[in-house]
Amino acid sequence: MAGDKKQKLALKVSNTIKKYLDSQKWRYSVSNDQLSFSFGITTDRLPFQYQISVSPESESVYLSVGQDLVVPHDKRIAMAYALCAVNDYLVDGCFDYSVSEGKMSFRVVVAYGDAEFGATTVEYMINVAYSTLDKLNDAIVDYVEDRIDQREFLGKML
Amino acid sequence: MDAKKMKKAAKAYSVMCKSLDEDKWKYVPVKEEYTVMYSEYNDEAGDVTCKYFIDVERELVRFVAVLPVVFTQDQYVDATVACCVLNNSLAFGGFSLHLKSGEICFNMANAIHDGVPGKDFFKTFRLRTSAVIHKYAANFQKLQKGEIKIGDMVD
């Protein structure tokens, strides 16, 4: 359990996130400890689940975006190859991918510590995730759902 | 370039350098690029080249380390799966494979859109990058040499 000072700071950061989400008129659910927010963003393909969590211990805000997509066994290695290479050219954020489960998510983290954490940073985090997924998700879904082959998939991703 | 961003980057860079100086860290400053270069030495892995810098345009503190290991193309599957497995266990930053060179990189970034962080922030940031490098650099080398398996790389 984080100390009182860290807990207070985390709640302040969490309040900033809440205010931002409210300003956008987004519907979200919030955890009992008020430190985690969940909401969905629907695209013309699969819906994304966003989770923004404040960690008092590490004084950081984690944004994780997942989707209900399971990569079939025979495509899991190609997906690992593609996502690992994509991570190499991303400036911020990282694809996390469980090769054994075939599930992926996208993560953006901001440590606040003694830095200011305001609405601009919340917006930035959401935009980084959204723009990265918007750029790459069609190729990911098309490959998983057999609309493109491995060669075309890697060509679009890299 | 946006003057406001330049001013912020200059201030952030100054705090970053002060934080390194306080810890008596040896580095090479490249002031005009808001960058410092240094080497993390690991007993097992050797020197890891690190670039720690302020990304002026994007308003980010960034860190890139190139591990002293090169995978051959026939080892790329192992390298990429290893990166994925490790990234799943990391809270900050991520490993990636540079397809052209076969090198493994560790990248970490932190937005500073709402202000310039203090020395504690930069110290924590560096400690986090350092911890990851020291924990995993040698394991990537061992994987490349076939001395360990991917499953042995995580706790």
Q: All domains of chain B, ordered by start, with CATH?
A: 3-152 (3.30.1460.10)
CATH number, domain at A137? Answer: 3.30.1460.10
B115 contacts A94? CB cut-off 8 A: no
Length of chain B: 155
B102 touches chain A (CB under 8 A): no
Question: In this predicted complex, what is the ipTM?
Answer: 0.93
The residues that bridge with A109 in the sheet, in sequence order, are: A62
Please give the average per-residue pLDDT across B132-141, as a whole number: 96
- Identify all chain A residues contacting B98, using CB atoms and an 8 Å cutoff: 88
- Report pLDDT for B11: 97
Domain extent for A73 = 4-157
B99 contacts A88? CB cut-off 8 A: yes
CA distances from residue B28 to A38, B43, B49 in whole angstroms, order as listed: 43, 22, 12
Total of domains in chain A? 1
Residue A103: is it exposed, middle or buried by C-beta count within 10 angstroms (0-12/13-18/19+)? middle
The mean pLDDT of chain A is: 94
- Report pLDDT for A1: 60
B89 touches chain A (CB under 8 A): no
- Identify all chain B residues contacting A84, using CB atoms and an 8 Å cutoff: 79-80, 83-84, 95-97
A96 contacts B117? CB cut-off 8 A: no
A62 touches chain B (CB under 8 A): yes
A111 contacts B87? CB cut-off 8 A: no
- Report pLDDT for B21: 97
